[in-house]
Structure 1
């Protein structure tokens, strides 16, 4: 290429002789201007796939839209965060787990870019096109302008005045990226980079400027989605990579090189009288058409496919009748749709076969202006491309090959294969439920258990990090991550009251679910073993049948009601109350100490793209429901011969749901005590007893109420030394 440039300069100064001398000089400096030392290869598609941290690694120049890895240029190391949960000895003790995050910067391009779209980590989508993160952390992108300022995180780590601004370098800064999904290491990242025009003229002129070569281009053709120069390659190698997609020739101009498209190529006429000795090309050509080993029968072309998340796609072209002639593979750092890649592969194969016909011509000295890549047309109408020149004895000997005709302009039908792409659906808003339950299996005996569930309306919801404040929102601490969306919704038709001792075959619950998750049927045996337990308002119930009657609307029937001592809640249902399927894998337990009883705890659930200060707060007043005794059952009252009242009841235990010995249930409290409230038409009185029975003589009735008690209500509740009264059972008489 420098040969062409200096040859043109010599011709301008000293005519044809000067042009010949310029060609000789240019041949010597060509390697310095365009090759710069040793054997090199042009950039390949694989150059874009692996993240590097090597010092001196090349910085890619991207054009159009490409997916490319980057170069790690700064890291602040790993950050360890402790998460503590659990409580007393009976609940297994306190558990401490650790999570890790990292802050680092990745160089993306050695020229200014327009922005970054999706980001992949270890091949999985980390950030969607809308900017939502799949893992915890934040990312900032710098476009590589000459006015960009240092990143605040890097400046805080290195000190004011010591952080580089990386002007002219596009890069991304990750702050506190959660590493749990990546084996607690910085993952291999790749980026969807938008870098301006992928027009061939733009690419060629920018590459010339990057190599300090004055170079212009015009009327180049060749559609592509994107192109990347991602290696230490000579300019001629970079242009060579473009050649299969953008046919061109390199011309000399007074001010540098000019890259000309086929439409600008002028064919020089060569008449029979110009041929030295009257030779024709047919007499002097070296016809290599029979040398089939020089051209493949199959050509494969690999390029990034935008329809497959820029994963490598391969298109093949076959030469009819020549499939045994061998295979040639071309790998290009470009992004092409499947049809365009197929078109390029067919054009490359056709060019290889058409150019097998070559030859030599000897012309008079006035044809010294002809140079490699020039076109000539003979009197028979055939066109040839000059591939080399030799000047000897005032004769110009040209090495030529037959020119390639234009192929079809419409991209052929092509199959890029079934794309294995990850759906890019934003996570959307996180919906949270914070609640307490009656005593459940595995609950601690000496601390209060709060439970948290989360999910979202969007099918792209993935997880939320849960934060708690125990000091009226003065400070927040992370208590874990929920990564399984709970099945929840709102009740649009409430069940009627029923007897909790039998299957409820009359009632049903209609639920409008938050998302598209399905509810499932369960057999009676499965239900009796604990399946399909749901919180509907304040009642716990189970269901056998779940029927979707409209999109996201379900009817639940064949019910077991008032589970875990929630019979009283059967009469409190209202439309619009919350529904939540109690699946252990979707619910996070959070144990708080007893001294928080009656206090308020604040909870936030932050999705990956949420800013913690802006996340809504849910305030919960702690009642200690898991430590409260259950309400007594089977209250029985009879009057003695002296008109005294004799009352007895059956105690229930928060630790006795399994009834393992079929005789009695454990007390589960420090001591057995009950509170009774006896109300009549003459007033109310309270009594404390330490056994499940009570007697009030006629004399005591008159002393307390002024008259015998003939009717009223008796409310009985069991007491706990930890949290006070359990729920009451009210008996009317």
Structure 2
């Protein structure tokens, strides 16, 4: 013979779940049922009572006898599993229904997760009585019902004060009878009926005294503050209110206990209705033959041809028993719970390393120094604030700056070829795929004001600035940009031919953060770490980069309008090379001035005379022209430049801070 294996038991947390503990409520299933006679309400207490009753029953030797054959109990209980404990973390399951679609079934289901930590009301009251020094055999809590998810005693108070708080919340009374402190729930059935003939007349006054309290002394609304275990014990407010009453009083109470809001709302409505029903009181005397009645018992009084339910509040024994009662309505203690409230949880945010770019760009606005490079970053989720650390070595990083805006970063979908400058490029289509954000078409006037500027990394660390007048959404996050202005802010030399597909692009707006470095730091190879400001610089969420700021913002623009010799008649001999100066100053875009600002300490230029890739001669000048003398021509070429000849030259404007500016490579034709 072998023991009977008891492998599994469980009960749904639903009203009267023990009537049919094997059924499961799931509106999406064809096998969804509620237990026999269940009203479909959530009831955590019935689930706990079922588990306690089952395990305690089989734990008794009289119910589970010892076998004389194999020396074990008839029913093998130690390996009996309670259905069901879920490995998914509470309260994120069941609250995150967008992650777990069966989360809605938890409320009425068999899950122990989030419920097994509760304690029965009876066990809690017994524990408080033991703390008060009462012997266990003088405590009777069999009349209590309910479950407590959490109860905090936040101050020095007696166990009686703690029990009083529980009594107010759950609606029970304590009475001393037969040498035992007995705790019973209110709303019980009447144990006796009393008529006027059963009452004992007093020497003075009426045999029955009925009192009805004024409405103005009662609350119109009752508000309770409780804690929610599924919201990290944050406070929650429930309210019960009467509509057609002649009072405007509002009463508020706070309970240091964790309660599901729907259950707290039910108990709050019970307390409000209890106050209104209990405004009717009765006082009378009963003969000593009614000695069996105790305080907290319910009776029915026959009066004016009707039966009135009363709950005994106090009894004074003398020659007759002086009884004080309040009216009760049993329906008050069997109300449906309130509507379920979804939990608002703070999700744990896991940050990854951002996509960060350090960009050496021309000056973009007057409020930023021209020498400062920029940082752009994108991350999902965005940590709120990014920090930038720098160090000349691989340790000893120091915080340089923080910024809080996520940049619109993306990539080229296809190759982007070179195009014309100083006029619209109507032949190329710039197709970009953005990680976040949008683009929109703008008018020409807005475009000339600097809108829709995009930096394209045509080579590592080399950025061309392009503006787009027309933007068309061609796929989610993907835009086709046309009506382009190329090589803006002196970046025509950065055009790729083509810039390859996959090259990074950044929308130039206020989300870019300037790096507050000093001019003395220019040209130094720094090590950088960029990541969430809430994490230490050593955290794995930081991305490491090596970047040397070259101060593109201080570099003079290339010159323009180099004069071609063939356009004017000339004789053999000295060659005067002429051009027009450009300025990197933002004010140079004004059409009102006679001359663009110099933006440099001194005006100076260098002209390289090229022969293939070799530099044959360098001419220096302080004006927008340089003379290539006949003697230099003969020395460099062996002959004077004449019709049919060509000459390659490269012109630089000079800066006292960064030296040569952007080059202008031109082939002169004679």
Where does residue 300 of structure 1 map in the other structure? 222
Partner of 1:462: 384
1:560 corresponds in structure 2 to 485
Matched, 1:719 2:650: no
Which range moves more in the overlay, 333-342 or 667-676?
A: 333-342
Counterpart position of 2:563: 636
Is it true that 1:452 corresponds to 2:452 in the alignment?
no
1:351 and 2:281 aligned: no
1:297–1:324: 8 Å Cα contact kept in structure 2? Answer: no
Shift of 1:707: 6.0
Flag the structure with more relative contact order, 1 or 2, with Cα contacts below 8 A and sequence separation at least 6.
1
**CA drift at 1:565:** 0.4
- Contact 2:454-2:466 within 8 A present in 1 as well: yes
Contact 2:558-2:582 within 8 A present in 1 as well: yes
Aligned to 1:504: 425
Equivalent residue, structure 1, for 2:577: 647
8 Å contact 1:244–1:344 — kept in the other structure?
Answer: no
Alpha-carbon deviations, 1:132-177, whole Å to 9, x = none? Answer: xxxxxxxxxxxxxxxxxxxxxxxxxxxxxxxxxxxxxxxxxxxxxx
Mark the CA change 1:546 to 1:384 in structure 2 (over 3 Å): closer, same or farther.
same
Matched, 1:600 2:525: yes
Distance in 2 of aligned mates of 1:252 and 1:345 = 27
> Superposed, which structure 2 residues align to 1:260-275 within 5 Å?
260-261=184-185, 268-269=191-192, 275=198
| Counterparts in 2 of 1:224 and 1:711: CA distance versus 1, 3 Å | farther
CA offsets 1:577-612 (integer angstroms, 9 cap, x no match): 22222223x233223334433222233333254332
Q: Which runs of 5+ in 2 are unaligned?
A: 1-88, 97-113, 458-462
Distance, in Å, in 2 between the alignment partners of 1:278 and 1:206 is 44
Secondary structure of 1:541's counterpart equals: strand
SS in 2 for 1:634: coil
Deviates more, 1:376-385 or 1:495-504: 376-385
Structure-1 separation of matches of 2:640 and 2:149: 95
How big is each residue's C-alpha offset from its partner over 1:446-503, in whole Å with a ceiling of 9 and x where there is no partner?
Answer: x831222334233x5422233332x324323323321232233223245432222112
Map residues 473-484 of structure 1 onto 2, 5 A cutoff.
473-484=394-405
Residue by residue, what CA displacement relative to the aligned partner does 1:23-70 show, whole Å, maximum 9, x if unpaired?
Answer: xxxxxxxxxxxxxxxxxxxxxxxxxxxxxxxxxxxxxxxxxxxxxxxx
What CA deviation, in whole Å up to 9, does each residue of 1:383-426 have, x standing for no partner? 54221121224x4323223443134543255999xx9x898684
SS across alignment from 1:527: helix
1:591 is the counterpart of 2:516: yes
Quote how far apart the aligned CAs of 1:218 are: 5.8
Deviation, 1:563, is 0.8
Who is 1:667 aligned against? 598
Query: Within 5 A, what are the aligned runs for 1:508-527?
Result: 508-515=429-436, 517-527=437-447
- 1:649, 1:693 within 8 Å by CA — same for their partners in 2? yes
Aligned residue pair count: 531
Unaligned ranges ≥5, structure 1 = 1-114, 119-128, 130-192
Superposed counterparts of 1:2-21, under 5 Å: none
Which residue in 2 is equivalent to 1:401?
A: 326
The normalised TM-score by structure 2 is 0.66
- 1:444/1:244 CA distance change after superposition, 3 Å: closer
Q: Is 1:503–1:558's contact at 8 Å kept on the other side of the alignment?
A: yes
Residue 386 (structure 1) aligns with: 312
Distance across 1 between alignment mates of 2:235 and 2:216 = 31
Match of 1:701 in 2: 633
Residue 315 (structure 1) aligns with: 239
Question: 2:26 — aligned with what?
Answer: none
Tell me which of 545, 550, 562 is aligned to 1:618.
Answer: 545
Residue 592 of structure 1: SS of its match in structure 2?
Answer: coil
Question: What is the match of residue 689 of structure 1?
Answer: 620
Is contact 1:637-1:646 (8 Å) kept? no
Note the alpha carbon deviations across 1:428-460, whole angstroms, 9 max, x for none.
444332212123443777x831222334233x5
- Quote how far apart the aligned CAs of 1:557 are: 2.9
2:579 counterpart SS class? strand
For residues 236 and 404 of structure 1, the distance between their equivalents in structure 2, rounded to whole angstroms, comes to 27
Q: Which residue of 1 aligns with 2:362?
A: 438
Q: Which of structures 1 and 2 has the bigger CA Rg?
A: 2
Q: What is the TM-score normalised by the length of structure 1?
A: 0.61
Change (3 A) 1:277 1:287: closer
C-alpha displacement of 1:727: 1.9
Richer in strand (by share): 1
